[in-house]
Amino acid sequence: MKKGIIPAITGLVAGVLASTVFFAQTEVGPRPVANTSSTVKSNAEKVYVPFGEKDEYYLFASGGHSGQLFVYGVPSMRHIRTVPIFSQDSATGYGWSEESKKLMGNYTWGDFHHPAFSETKGEYDGKYMFATDVANSRAAVMDLKTFTVKDIIEVPNTSGPHCAAFVTDNSEYIFLPTRFSVPLGSAYASLDEYSQKYYGVMSAVQFDEQKQKLGVSWQVALPPWSYDLSDAGKGPSHGWGVITTYNTEEATTTMEINASQADRDFIVLFNWQELEKMVAEGNYEEVNGEKIVFPDKNKGGIYLVPVAKSPHGVDVTPDGTRFIASGKLAPSMTVFSFEKAFKAIENKDFSGEKYGMPVLNYDSVMEREVNPENALGPLHTQFDDKGMAYTTMFISSEIVKWDPNTGETLDRVPVQYSPGHSVAAEGDSASPDGKYIIALNKIAKDSYLSVGPSHPESMQLIDLTGPKMEIIQSAPVNPEPHYAQMIKADKIKTITVYDKDPSNPDAVYSQDQTRIERNGKKVDVYGIAMRSRFIFDAKSERPDVIEVNEGDEVTIHLTNIDFDQDITHGFAINKYDLNFEVQPGQTETIKFKADKAGTYPLYCTNFCSALHQEMNGYLLVKPKN
Ligand code: CUK
Ligand code: CUA
């Protein structure tokens, strides 16, 4: 969700909204948090993590169009690490090394919206994090032992997997519904044929832990609507998934107005076990190498639930009994019951059909509509340990706590400003912790020192343990944490160094194995980095020099043999625009054409020892003539 929603909403419903509320909430400075000196002290204590102690939670905030992941500690809100997922990152050489170039495919950046942890029985298991790229239709998996990306795939037939990643309760699937509809394979088709030739394809992706590879198992060619957010069932709703939709009007231009005409859009309610079975029985069509279920021909397993227009988020309650849609343009949260939906399906309690998918009767599935007074722009909902719901209100800039069992508003706290998502401690797992929630605010305005016309986004940490929600810390964050995940720190087990891998033909672990191999124009360097030198060929008079001929194809395989925690070496060649790093025990590769004759110093970029400044050598490129 971009900041553009403000004009969209003001334009559309300004007349209905109390504009004084709107402006009061977005145009003024930070509202004072109750700050008697005693509460300030106790709040400071709550977030203070003394040196030598560690935070209780990891926070993984998506980096939106930075294509990166930001790792923070909670409650200190200290930024610990930026991990590149979809975008080049010269701090780590991601996007320059051959290994990372292979992961990134033909792209240099990504738009990363929703991180999702791997799950076992609906609980975060701390093993992997999945991510999707709205910009270039990719899915990624990151290993939480090393905080590095293991695999990225481009998903065919789709465009903009925004509503993802949502992971099923035992990580059976990572579902990727899409924001944009396109013709299959992104082929050309006139927009006059939008309803006939365009599809919003949802992909069922699986992760093979053995091979450390992602793969598309099957897809569903949903109608040409926009799919917004989604969630997976758990417990009694295991095997099911829900996705919100907008633009069921099938507008093809000026979406701001045209996609908001109808009073109702739908929630797609699907049974992935049934779809899996249909595919196993051959009930699909193969298009562009993928198995695609077309709901109008391959019937079953998918239903539509009417919902107030243009819903944004949909969230399954921790106990798996309900799903809650947030209204975006209608100021309400709608609570639906899975049990009622299952009954309606059994009784064929349908009000019609769309593209072969039965439409369930709204009144048969809906449990209650919740409209907290003056709360505007509900977007996303998280949960605490008692099953209470916390919904972000984009327009009225607050988080509202309410009871899904009764609809009663329990508490509300203003945030600065315009929260998109919030994230509670393990807040979308089967057993949220209930300790903290963080508002992921789109607009920081004057919350921090000014850095010019554009400001960072803001994250506000809210304590949930007292009688009232209380903001206890705030931290700027780069664009743009659409969503985040907060996991108990002790669930993540990182390694300290990479193990030796004797099966890796690129790796060299001792000086006597270093060598420069020439084969015509091909030059392969098998070198090591250690404190505080490079050794490319130990037998050479100048072991830290690489001499090649102009036009040679050079590959440098570099192994860091300092098996010592946090001793990372970097590698850069002046004016060759090359840069990568090797972490302790790691082997990485760069390839380049030595097309510039001359003398180019090479050096370690990562301060690794007292003699780091001496860790350099030369690339000599002999001119052709
Ligand atoms: S979307 Cu941005 S606030 Cu991409 Cu999760 Cu709702
Ligand atoms: Cu190695 Cu600096």
CATH code at position 540: 2.60.40.420
Mean pLDDT by 10 residues, the chain (625 residues): 41 38 42 53 90 96 96 98 97 97 96 96 97 96 98 96 89 96 96 97 97 98 96 97 95 85 90 98 96 96 94 96 92 96 98 96 97 95 98 97 98 97 96 98 93 94 96 94 96 98 97 97 98 97 98 98 97 97 98 98 97 97 94
Identify the pLDDT of residue 33. Answer: 52
Q: Which of 421, 438, 442 to mutate to test the pocket of ligand 1 (most atoms within 8 A of CB)?
A: 421
Query: Which H/E stretch holds residue 19?
Result: helix 19-26
Ligand 2: centre distance to CA 564 (Å)? 13
d(CA 330, CA 421): 17
CA dihedral 484, 490, 496, 502 (to 10 degrees): -90
Assess if residue 277 is contained within a domain: no
530 ligand 2 Cβ < 6 A: no
DSSP symbol at 448: S
Identify the pLDDT of residue 31. Answer: 52
- The distance from CA 362 to its chain's CA centroid, rounded to whole angstroms, is 32
Identify the pLDDT of residue 39. Answer: 57
Identify the pLDDT of residue 69. Answer: 97
Assess if residue 431 is contained within a domain: no
Strand 409-414 and strand 398-402: the pairing is: antiparallel
- The distance from CA 353 to its chain's CA centroid, rounded to whole angstroms, is 34
533 ligand 2 Cβ < 6 A: no
Assess if residue 305 is contained within a domain: no
| Total domain count, the chain | 1
DSSP symbol at 39: H
Assess if residue 389 is contained within a domain: no
Domain that includes residue 522, residue range: 511-622
179 ligand 1 Cβ < 6 A: no
Q: What is the DSSP string of 61-88?
A: EE-BTT-EEEEEEETTTEEEEEEESSS-
Report helix, strand or coil for 543.
coil
Assess if residue 601 is contained within a domain: yes
What count of Cα atoms within 13 Å lies in the side-chain half-sphere of residue 149? 31
Q: For residue 2, give the ligand 1 atom closest to its CA.
A: 2
Assess if residue 557 is contained within a domain: yes
